[in-house]
Copies of this chain bind each other. A is one copy, B any other.
Amino acid sequence: MSNQNENKKDSKQAKAAIRAGDVTFQLHKTAETFSDWYDAVMDAAEIVDRRYPVKGCPVLRPYGFFMHNAIMREVEDRYAEVGVEQALFPTVIPESFLNKEADHIKGFGAECFWIDRAGNDKLEEPLALRPTSETAIYYMFNKWVRSFRDLPLKVHQTCTVFRYETKNTKPLIRVREIPWNEAHTCHATKVEALDMMNTYWKVCMKIFEQELCFTGKVLQRAPWDKFAGAEHTEVLDVIMPCGRVLQTAGIHYLGQKFAKVFDINFLDQNNTKQLAEMTCCGVSTRVLACALAIHGDDKGLILPPLISQFQVVLIPCGGKKEAEVYAPLQEMQTRLRNMKIRCTIDDSKQSMGEKLFYWEMKGAPLRIELGPRDLETQQFVLVARDLGKDGKKTCPIADLEKVIAQELEAFKDRLRAKAMASHKDHITIARTLDEIQEVITKKGGFAQIPFFTMEAGAKEAEEVIKEKCGGAEIRGFWPEEKCEGEICAVTGKPATVWAYVARAY
């Protein structure tokens, strides 16, 4: 049981970190406290190792990689269902490609890592490590799209992108090597392209809300804040426990901007040349960061089953008589594995207390305890990570499969309900600058404000908010969400739209 060994070896260190008080976690405390909890959990649960000596390039350790990989595979499977096919494009992009779309290079030029030489040769043209793959992929789309019969063209890839992040880095959240998935599509019409935006949201929200049990606010970014090269950008902003918000998915309507510069055109049914309508979507390790941050508590992680390497941990009890339950536990483990439940028996030499402490910190959703006395009544004890020992249940061993299936669903339902309620509770209407400041600095989350326009003058109004409300910014709006009969919280003009204001994580 190599996993067991792996688990044992650093648990001491992890426990020490938690006991030393590094790991504390209370909703809506200052950013510093959440940040400390986050870092401590990254180390203690062995999610990433931050000691690799290149800034922003942490190692995804097996326990953390399992989680990220589970999310990426879920994205891949959902894309397969809606006809987005997986491919793999080159990492290196010729400088001239990046320069083609003016906004794009303006947005990403300062973030690129550049290769000028290889072996003993100077390269003829510098190559960028992809900061995102539009330009590499659209060069190929130019060759693949000829006729309306080639459309829609929908591809995605799971890969790593590279951005020269100059701010403070944070594991999974703000890094220089970003493991992610990006999808890119071409369509014959704007209607189809906009419909694809909805498909992205369905794919993303199914994973975020149903599997990872968290949600956020879907927003359209302000025009000055969109993806470099997009017509408009939609994002999911997730409210972190510290009250700041984190962009967790980026879905971009590109219109014909890239089609124009990469000459992605097709002959329509009337044999007329048309430019393609395009979209793209990116989801990175930030999805994982949110899942960990939203559900965790002061004992450590609470993992949604999708990303938990062990969904059920079986722990033998009974002190010296412990060995009596090894065979029954193994039988239970086999039964669970037959139903594709990932589980492990912790038969390490550590004390019961240490084991519970360890698995709570690691976030395993369910724990089964079995002692010799339980055998007499053919029952086992079940503890859900979120409820702790107060939620202990005794269940018949005969019903194992049914109980575990039900309890995993109930566990997810509880996580989801709690996260949804907290999200909803942290969107607060604010009608004056004072009220905005109050929301931002005291309660955290979003201030939902009546706003005069997202067009001319809006950016100037945002400057006022930034200055007076603790650095909060306009995170976006939703076009269908009209605001009538209200007065703009910043300018006093008649409001036309609800704007969402928050501090960025």
Contact = CB atoms under 8 A, between A and B. Distances in A.
A65 B49 contact: no
A71 to B, nearest CB: 13
Contacts of A51: 140, 143
Contacts of A9: 147, 149-150
Contacts of A150: 5, 9
Contacts of A94: 53-54
A189 interface: no
A394 B412 CA distance: 50
Contacts of A109: 119
A65 B91 contact: no
A111 B85 CA distance: 32
A118 interface: yes
A162 interface: yes
Given A52-B140, A114-B117, A62 B86 contact: yes
Interface string A82-108: 010111111110100000000000000
Contacts of A91: 57, 91, 129, 160, 162, 177
Interface residue tally of chain A, by bracket?
35 or more
A58 B139 CA distance: 12
Looking at A59, A60, A160, the one whose CB has the most chain B CB atoms below 10 A away is A59
Contacts of A147: 9
Majority DSSP secondary structure for residues of A touching B = mixed
B6 A90 contact: no
A89 B127 CA distance: 22
A59 B119 contact: no
B154 A129 contact: no
Contacts of A129: 91, 115, 129
A110 B119 contact: yes
A200 to B, nearest CB: 16
Nearest to A1: B83
A185 to B, nearest CB: 11
Interface string A174-189: 0001010000000000
A136 B53 CA distance: 10
A167 to B, nearest CB: 12
Given A6-B85, A59-B140, A91-B160, 6 more contacts: A2-B83, A60-B89, A91-B162, A110-B119, A110-B120, A119-B164
